A and B are shown apart, each in its own frame.
Chain A
Amino acid sequence: GAVVSQHPSWVICKSGTSVKIECRSLDFQATTMFWYRQFPKQSLMLMATSNEGSKATYEQGVEKDKFLINHASLTLSTLTVTSAHPEDSSFYICSARISSGSGDEQFFGPGTRLTVL
């Protein structure tokens, strides 16, 4: 159980175009999903917290108009990188939260490699 998928696993796009990345919880419902960005040999950087049915909460320094997040259902959150530029090339990872009586855990997706030419 607790499987999180991402689509696509990799994408190459031209500068100026927009790219949408999907994050799905396959066998559970997630009211909260998280989007991270990871550069080579670096740690995960939280970009935003996505709550089902409400606006995402962005971390300081993350442009909300550039990284559009939509959490329209309990199993799907999407990240759209608008007007992508080469500096947006990175590994994007989502996670979904499961809450239980003993606390909550995050389960991560396999990541999406974005390359902007």
Chain B
Amino acid sequence: QQQVKQSPQSLIVQKGGISIINCAYENTAFDYFPWYQQFPGKGPALLIAIRPDVSEKKEGRFTISFNKSAKQFSLHIMDSQPGDSATYFCAAKMPSGSRLTFGEGTQLTVNP
């Protein structure tokens, strides 16, 4: 019930392409879905987040698509750049608590 499943485990994209990372959750009580970007040897940084009352949120090249009925959400990185190469984690949070449940992570490599 508390798990968040993330795929793919790794992803290689050419510069300028679209990177898509998917997450699925079981617990319908989750009400906050953030995405974090982590570079090697660094802590995660909040990239973009969405709440289930909207189906899409866009910030620059990053877009979250949210499908409440399917209990899935995804991160789209448009015009992917080599500087986007990092590990991306999706997460989910319950309304009554502050702890985050993380996905397994996706290692993205954007080739020049």
Contacts and interface: CB of A to CB of B under 8 A. Distances in A.
A32 B97 CA distance: 11
Interface stretch (B11-19, B67-75, B101-109): B101-109
Interface string A1-16: 0001010000000000
Interface of B: 32, 34, 36, 41-46, 49, 51, 89, 98-100, 102-105, 107
Contact of B105 (A42, A49, A109): A42
Given A93-B43, A105-B46, A46 B99 contact: yes
Given A97-B98, A103-B32, A104-B98, A111 B105 contact: no
Contacts, number: 47
Interface of A: 4, 6, 32, 34, 41-44, 46, 49, 91, 93, 95, 97, 99, 103-111, 113
Contact of B43 (A97, A99, A108): A108
B44 A93 contact: yes
A21 B101 CA distance: 23
- The 3 A-B pairs at the shortest CB distance, nearest first, are namely A108-B43, A111-B43, A43-B102
